């Protein structure tokens, strides 16, 4: 069997220079209405019949003056994105109540077969030119996009011949307790072009130091950010073969390990005490290996031809992605018979593929038509074992072939009609395996399970309509479907039957209905959308109170909500923005509310960007998270992810000053008011170690050197 996969996305080759020089700022302005993620070819946002958010270079840089955590940046910038968890995991931070498929230049980083929720932080932010977010179920990129797509578009070289460089040096520390909190960061990016050859290269290193809460105590270590050391290496080489064709090679490597020599004291919501960490003074190494990605490799070779045949753009690529994500040490993996007091799991995933995408355009009377079509072939091999060698989730070897067609008609420049379909053929080979004994409230039985092949076949559809005649009111309506193999690995590892054929492994079709509008009038730009997302099989987890075991919900679910955003250029020097999102969801069979692993509380985010002078900039951001209390205690305790969430808010401040053309200094304070709070996930998740407080006031100071 050929282990290759081909899915073609006509990746938009942006001509963005390194951040902060005059050219990139102008480029961001020129590109702000262009997106490539929604239909796999370059198109204008006002031709997309769905909710779209672009986090451009300017917004990224503004937020990175405070924090480099992509979870926090996306939480502020993207309506419908849940609040950041304060940890290295995005579990509990959903997009419209469902999992998002994370991509780097269109290449999948998520591991849908065993979703570890670590994909959002899969590269260093200094590599990113901008982030494109498409909300709502979509089949454009296949399995795993139940809630939408988050696509990191990486930097490309300047369009002009020459050489550019940027060095960034920064440090951060706790304003509540300095001890051990000093972090450090360095990244350098260079790009150049000579005639037909261009390149971009980046290396980055960051050590967070020990993260402290508002009381000055070190945060707990479960999925923790304390002592998190990350390394990133990125390069992109491109060569213009002709005036209409080009070849490019991109590679990115990212790793991040929690290296803190601290010991975690784990509490939980029901005890009413926070989880925290203290310095290890025992002289003995804490059990387990460092948490985090041991290595995330992405390699892509791409060929693009602007006119491979009449009025047709072709983009083809071959890619490879491999990762190892190590989770926290837990005594639930104890096995006295083997002399083991615990263990820690690790997701290993390797994807290979080839992709081919064609975009053909036609012009009729008063109508511009385009058809995007192609084939995706993917092999994804995923398993979750323990670091000590014991198997937990069996090896799953998936071959996925898909054909797709997406059409778009722009009529009289005002009406946009889109329709498309995608057909999936999936075969997952599962080896014979034994379930692992896991000890929570009780120890699970070990069962011999006969493997086999699990096959899926599905066709998903989408259709949308948009009207653009009036700038102040441009409405759209859409229906889209997504195909989701709901965390197959979790289903298999909790098997209680002797054969894979007897396990309910059905996939889910996610149906997304959306209506909304955007517009601009005078100094204002605004967006609004309301949606309903339905699935015949659930995409959330629920805890069995008797055993403490989490299992996938297999009953139908419905999630609904709305989002709104408003931006205003109040004066020449002041830009204001605010966005709000609210959602709710239920199991439709039982009319029970969905838990905190699925539904995020209401969220209000806002910002003010102020130009104090041509060289001096300032920014303030606010995130307010509302309350959600839907569940009763079981006996005297909350179970699973049913804990009540109380409201809180966090204010960040940053400022920068351009000393001259070569030097810029900046500083920021995260949680400026030193708010003492638990993030939403810390409140809703009742397991030991999850109730970690939010980061206290933290100072970040840095400088840029441009060359």
Query: Quick check: is 17 in a domain?
Result: no
pLDDT at 547: 61
Strands, sheet with 128-135, edge to edge from the N-terminal-most edge strand: 52-55, 128-135, 148-154, 100-104, 107-108
The residue-averaged pLDDT of 123-132 equals 96
Q: What is the DSSP string of 518-538?
A: EEEETTEEEEEEEEEEEESS-
Query: Quick check: is 195 in a domain?
Result: yes
Query: Quick check: is 562 in a domain?
Result: yes
pLDDT at 25: 38
Query: Quick check: is 15 in a domain?
Result: no
pLDDT at 19 over 50: no
- Least confident span in 15-24, 258-267, 697-706: 15-24
The CATH number of the domain holding residue 91 is 2.40.170.20
Split at pLDDT 50, 70, 90, the class of 314 is: very high
The residue-averaged pLDDT of 388-396 equals 95
Split at pLDDT 50, 70, 90, the class of 141 is: confident
pLDDT at 34: 81
Query: Quick check: is 9 in a domain?
Result: no
Q: Crossing angle, helix 70-77 and helix 57-64, to 10 degrees?
A: 120
The residue-averaged pLDDT of 189-216 equals 97
The residue-averaged pLDDT of 477-498 equals 90
289 lies in which domain range?
22-706
| pLDDT tens-digit map of 87-115 | 888 888 999 999 899 999 988 898 889 98
pLDDT at 42: 87
Split at pLDDT 50, 70, 90, the class of 35 is: confident
Query: Quick check: is 200 in a domain?
Result: yes
* 691 Cβ contact partners less than 8 Å away, ≥ 6 residues apart: 220, 267, 268, 269, 273, 274, 275, 678, 682, 683, 685
Query: Quick check: is 383 in a domain?
Result: yes
Split at pLDDT 50, 70, 90, the class of 485 is: confident
| pLDDT tens-digit map of 338-380 | 999 999 999 999 999 999 999 999 999 999 999 999 999 999 9
Query: Quick check: is 2 in a domain?
Result: no
pLDDT at 506: 87
How do beta strands 148-154 and 550-552 pair?
unpaired
Number of domains composing the chain: 1
Which residue spans within 536-597 are E strands per DSSP? Answer: 541-543, 550-552, 557-571, 574-587, 592-593
């Amino acid at each position: 069997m050929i282990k290759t996969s081909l899915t073609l996305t006509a990746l938009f080759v942006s001509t963005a220079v390194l951040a902060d020089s005059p050219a990139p700022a102008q480029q961001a302005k020129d590109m702000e209405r262009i997106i490539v993620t929604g239909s796999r070819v370059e198109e204008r946002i006002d031709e997309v019949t769905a909710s779209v958010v672009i986090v451009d270079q300017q917004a990224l840089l503004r937020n990175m003056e405070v924090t480099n955590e992509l979870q926090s940046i996306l939480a502020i910038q993207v309506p419908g994105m849940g609040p950041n968890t304060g940890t290295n995991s995005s579990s509990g931070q959903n997009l419209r109540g469902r999992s998002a498929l994370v991509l780097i230049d269109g290449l999948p980083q998520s591991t849908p077969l065993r979703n570890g929720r670590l994909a959002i932080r899969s590269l260093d932010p200094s590599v990113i030119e901008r982030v494109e977010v498409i909300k709502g179920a979509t089949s454009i990129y296949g399995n795993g996009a139940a809630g939408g797509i988050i696509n990191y578009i990486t930097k490309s070289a300047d369009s002009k011949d020459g050489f550019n460089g940027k060095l960034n040096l920064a440090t951060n520390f706790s304003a509540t307790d300095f001890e051990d909190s000093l972090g450090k960061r360095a990244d350098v990016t260079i790009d150049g072009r000579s005639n037909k050859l261009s390149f971009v290269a980046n290396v980055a290193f960051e050590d967070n130091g020990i993260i402290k809460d508002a009381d000055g105590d070190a945060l707990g270590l479960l999925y923790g950010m304390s002592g998190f050391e990350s390394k990133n290496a990125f390069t992109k080489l491109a060569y213009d073969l002709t005036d209409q064709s080009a070849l490019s090679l991109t590679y990115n490597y990212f790793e991040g390990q929690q290296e803190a020599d601290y010991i975690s004291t784990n509490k939980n919501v029901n005890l009413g005490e926070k989880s925290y960490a203290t310095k290890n003074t025992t002289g003995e190494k804490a059990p387990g290996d460092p948490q985090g990605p041991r290595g995330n490799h992405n390699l892509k070779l791409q060929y693009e031809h602007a006119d491979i045949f009449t009025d047709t753009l072709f983009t083809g690529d071959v890619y490879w992605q491999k990762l190892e994500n190590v989770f926290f040490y837990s005594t639930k993996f104890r096995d006295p018979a083997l002399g083991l007091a615990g263990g820690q799991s690790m997701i290993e995933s390797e994807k290979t593929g080839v992709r081919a995408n064609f975009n053909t355009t036609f012009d009729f009377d008063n109508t511009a038509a385009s058809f995007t079509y192609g084939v995706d072939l993917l092999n994804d091999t995923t398993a979750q074992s323990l670091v000590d060698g014991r198997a937990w989730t069996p090896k799953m070897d998936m071959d996925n072939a898909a054909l797709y067609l997406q059409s778009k008609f722009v009529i009289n420049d005002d009406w946009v009609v889109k329709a498309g379909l995608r057909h999936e053929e999936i075969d997952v080979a599962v080896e014979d395996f034994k379930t692992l004994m896991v000890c929570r409230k009780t120890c699970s039985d070990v069962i011999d399970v006969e493997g086999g092949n699990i096959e899926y076949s599905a066709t998903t559809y989408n259709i949308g309509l948009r009207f653009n005649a009036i700038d102040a009111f441009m409405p759209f309506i859409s229906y889209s479907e997504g195909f989701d193999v709901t965390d197959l690995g979790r289903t298999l590892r909790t098997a209680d039957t002797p054969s894979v054929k007897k396990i309910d492994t059905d996939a889910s079709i996610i149906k997304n209905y959306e209506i909304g509008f955007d517009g601009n009038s005078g100094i204002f730009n605004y967006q609004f959308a309301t949606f309903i997302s339905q699935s015949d099989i659930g995409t959330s987890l629920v805890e069995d109170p008797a055993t403490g075991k989490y299992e996938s919900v297999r009953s139908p679910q419905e999630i609904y909500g709305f989002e709104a955003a408003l931006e205003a250029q109040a004066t020449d020097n002041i830009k204001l923005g605010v966005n709000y999102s609210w959602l709710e969801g239920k199991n439709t069979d039982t009319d029970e509310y969905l838990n905190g692993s699925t539904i995020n509380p209401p969220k209000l985010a806002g910002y003010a960007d102020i130009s104090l002078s041509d060289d001096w900039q300032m920014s303030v951001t606010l995130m307010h998270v509302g309350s959600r209390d839907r569940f009763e205690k079981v006996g005297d305790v909350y179970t699973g992810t049913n804990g009540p969430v109380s409201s809180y808010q966090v204010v960040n401040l940053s400022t920068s000053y351009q000393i001259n053309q070569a030097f810029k200094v900046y500083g920021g304070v995260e949680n400026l008011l030193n708010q003492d709070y638990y993030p939403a996930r810390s409140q809703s998740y009742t397991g030991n170690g999850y109730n970690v407080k939010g980061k206290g006031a933290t100072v970040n100071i840095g400088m840029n050197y441009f060359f």
